[in-house]
Amino acid sequence: MSEQDFPPQVPPVQPAATTPVAPSVPPQRKSRAWMWWTLGIVLALALLIGSCTLPLAMLLRGDQIGGDGFGNDSIAVIYVDGVIAGTGDYYSGYVTPEYFKDLLDQAEEDDSVKAIVLRVDSPGGTAAASEEISRYVKAAGKPVVVSVGDVDASGAYMISSQADEIWAMPASAVGSIGVITEIPNVEGLLDQLGIEFQVITSGKYKDAGSPWRSLTK
């Protein structure tokens, strides 16, 4: 037998080496402790700011006379902004006589306060509440100066009119305390039609403003 009758020898094939795979580790949940810390800090700051707010938005601003920072003399600034009413909350947009009187008393009793500034920005409100506050301003024992914002009208101007001075920008709307009342009078027409109204009242002026007759003096 010749060499050509035998198949050629093939070297054995070694299996490929495999790299062992480490078992997967489940992802760790991130700690939420930082969220609670952040929330706590925010709440603490909110409480701090709230506790530092002066009651009822009254600011005592020193004029720095006789030293640095707050001097011995101060000016009390009382804000009259919003609707003037007998009842309501200042933070809901109402100014009541009780709220105003409380601030005015604080300014009157503080010996360092030499003058009072009313920062007025109000369209007015009820007649009774406006008149009551205006009487408090008139009876104030310290100089009262009004600084007008956008509007000082109706009952708000009734209050401002009792101050020693009123300062306003040219574009501020100031005035209008009950400046107009319209009452129709059809007495002449009724006479032409032969119609007469008989009115019975419990007082002389109970039917004041009636369209059926002319106004009396």
Question: Could you give the residue numbers annotated as active site?
Answer: 154, 206
Extract the runs of DSSP E, i.e. beta strands, from the chain: 59-62, 74-84, 94-95, 113-125, 144-153, 165-167, 173-175
Q: Which residues contact 190 (CB under 8 A, 6 or more apart)?
A: 196, 197, 212
Pairing of strands 94-95, 165-167: unpaired
Amino acid at position 191, single letter: D
Pairing of strands 59-62, 74-84: antiparallel
Q: Residue 118: phi, psi to the nearest 5?
A: -100, 115
Distance set, CA 147 to CA 78, 85, 150, 165, 168 (Å): 10, 21, 10, 9, 6
The SS3 assignment for 15 reads coil
